[in-house]
Amino acid sequence: MSRIFVIGLGPGNPDQQTPEARKALSLVTDVIGYGPYVARLELPETVVRHPSDNRVELDRARHALELAGQGRCIAIVSGGDAGVFGMASALFEAIDHGLELWRTTEVTVIPGVSAVLAAAARIGAPLGGDFCVMSLSDNLKPWDVVCRRLRLAAEAGFVIALYNPRSKARPWQLGEALDILRTCLPGTVPVAFARAIGRPDERLTLTDLTNADPECVDMSTLVLIGSELTRKIERPQGDAWLYTSRSVPA
């Protein structure tokens, strides 16, 4: 039977890759994924690497299914968790709309440490209450849908984590998103820019909604906007913790 592992590699620090993910990688004949993710893997020379550019997720998924149909054991890799804006949904979409034979493929989705979890752990406990995770990219959904969801999430009192916040092709969207949130939330709400958490080029910036500067952000940054229940604990060392209260007033 053909087999595909869909593997979340974690946010980039090898220590945050799960034993289950490492075990699966030891079994495969081929690895498919976004070029930088494939390149950073330590694999035997016998494993065939199939790197590709960004935004070709369905092509990757179909390629994996075709190779698996030839009797090969395939790993499709994503950064963070493969089920959070990753390759798991692309693979199942390809199966849903593809060949009937693809439905017989054995698929194992292996969870990974998502960027929002790595960032939250570094910051303190900002996800201690209800929260939501959104992608700010409008490549697969209209921008007005993104804006409506932002407003509703803020009005509902969720802590909001933003993936894909800003790119060279979309330099303006984070600024507009922050402006929308400023109409719904106090300017004192904490904001964190967590870039490349766990990697050598990690950078963490804590600010508030009034002073949040989108120019500090790139595609490697997780943007976390607190709620009115998110608190900042100043520390003598100069850094600080954020946490969100578990209790919501009546």
Quick: pLDDT tens for 71-83.
999 999 999 999 9
Residue 108 has pLDDT above 90, yes or no: yes
Residue 54 has a pLDDT of 82
Residue 157 has a pLDDT of 96
Quick: pLDDT tens for 188-201.
999 999 999 999 99
- Comparing CA positions, the residue from 56, 58, 38 lying closest to residue 48 is 38
Q: Quick one: average pLDDT of 44-62?
A: 94
> What value does the mean pLDDT of the chain take?
95
Q: Quick one: average pLDDT of 171-184?
A: 96
Residue 250 has a pLDDT of 83
**What band does 50 get if pLDDT is binned at 50, 70 and 90?**
very high
Q: What percent of the chain has pLDDT over 90?
A: 90
Residue 6 has pLDDT above 80, yes or no: yes
| Single-letter code of the amino acid located at 224 | L
Q: Quick one: average pLDDT of 239-246?
A: 95
Whole-model pTM? Answer: 0.92
Residue 32 has pLDDT above 80, yes or no: yes
Going across the sheet that includes 124-125, the strands are: 124-125, 240-244, 230-234
Task: Quickly list H helices, the chain.
Answer: 19-25, 35-39, 57-69, 87-96, 115-123, 143-155, 173-182
Residue 62 has a pLDDT of 97
Going across the sheet that includes 30-34, the strands are: 48-52, 30-34, 73-78, 3-8, 106-110
Q: What percent of the chain has pLDDT over 70?
A: 100
**What band does 1 get if pLDDT is binned at 50, 70 and 90?**
low
- Comparing 239 with 74, the larger pLDDT belongs to 74
CA distance 56 to 219: 17
Quick: pLDDT tens for 160-174.
999 999 988 888 999
Angle, CA 236 vertex, CA 210 and CA 162 arms, to 5°: 35
Residue 100 has pLDDT above 80, yes or no: yes
